[in-house]
Amino acid sequence: MVSGVVDTSASSNNPEADEKRKITCLRCCSVTVLLVLLSVPHMILGLPSVVVGVILYSDAHIWLAHTVSPIWSGVCFFFCGVFGIVSAKRSTPYTIFCFSSFCIISLMVGIIDMQLLRLGLVNHTTDGQTFLKDNVDPVINIALGIAGAESFICALSALFSCLVGQHVRKALRAGGQRVITREQIIAQRQEQIRQQREHERKVLEKMEKERAKSIRYHRV
């Protein structure tokens, strides 16, 4: 935790550097907020998917693929959101592009989950025909809705996170410097404050020594 930082003591003598630092901090915060907004829905939908999968599995008389597919798809969705939070914290092109890749994988998982859940809506005959069940389990429809919503969010997250990663990479190449997080900016500001106080302490010590010399000179 960083506390007790006084902004007035951290003022820089270079207004241009302060302006660049503010712009960098604003860009970093914007990237972080956008990635968090893209990541949270994955976690919100991942947990209900797991719960629905557990309900389907517990109510099923025999083990079928569609009864457990919401469980492992929900776990994948949840960890996709967790990885998005990690990429938002680091805000580097590498982690952002990895989050995009994870979103694409989650999209494929969601599509497979929907295809398996569709099997729970129909009955298969021995001659290869299929027909819709008379009594469809509403939990399967809920699982289908969750998987469809997650697939849509995965597609959006993959697109926008890829655009954000390209923007951050271009900013790095154009500025020739590393995009730093808010914690790193605060750490740099603290280091500037420490150096400034160290300089002030040395100046005060030098003035104290000069005053002591002048006092001894007047006594002599």
Render pLDDT for 78-104 as a digit per residue (tens, 0 to 9). Answer: 999 999 998 888 888 888 899 999 999
Q: Is 80 exceeded by the pLDDT of residue 197?
A: yes
CB atoms within 10 A of CB 164: 23
Mean pLDDT of 201-214: 82
Mean pLDDT of 138-155: 89
- What span, in angstroms and rounded, lies between the C-alpha atoms of 42 and 81? 5
User: DSSP secondary structure string, 22-91?
Assistant: HHHHHHHHHHHHHHHHHHHHHHHHHHHHHHHHHHHHHH-SS--HHHHHHHHHHHHHHHHHHHHHHHHHH-
Cβ-in-10-Å burial (0-12, 13-18, 19+) of 79 comes to middle
Q: Are 185 and 21 in contact (CB under 8 A)?
A: yes
- What span, in angstroms and rounded, lies between the C-alpha atoms of 161 and 151? 15
Report the candidate in 76, 73, 105, 92 with the shortest Cα–Cα distance to residue 35.
Answer: 92
Q: What's the pLDDT score for residue 130? A: 61
- What span, in angstroms and rounded, lies between the C-alpha atoms of 159 and 27? 19
Q: Point out the least confidently predicted range of 1-5, 53-57, 90-94, 121-125.
A: 1-5
Q: What's the pLDDT score for residue 136? A: 67
Mean pLDDT of 173-180: 58
Q: What's the pLDDT score for residue 6? A: 39
Count the helices and strands in the chain (H runs, E runs).
5, 2
pLDDT band of 4, cuts 50, 70, 90: very low
Q: What's the pLDDT score for residue 214? A: 74
Q: What's the pLDDT score for residue 205? A: 86
Q: Is 101 left (phi over 0), alpha (psi -120 to 50) or beta?
A: alpha
More confident residue, 121 or 34: 34
Q: Which amino acid is at 166?
A: Q
More confident residue, 139 or 9: 139
Residues in the chain: 220
> What are the CA-CA distances from residue 104 to residues 15, 108, 151, 162 (Å)?
43, 6, 9, 11
What is the distance of C-alpha 152 from the center of its chain?
18
Mean pLDDT of 196-216: 82
- What span, in angstroms and rounded, lies between the C-alpha atoms of 174 and 136? 57
* 3-class SS of residue 12: coil
Q: Note the pLDDT tens digit of each residue in 102-137.
A: 999 999 999 998 888 887 776 555 555 665 666 667
Q: Mean pLDDT of all residues in the chain?
A: 78
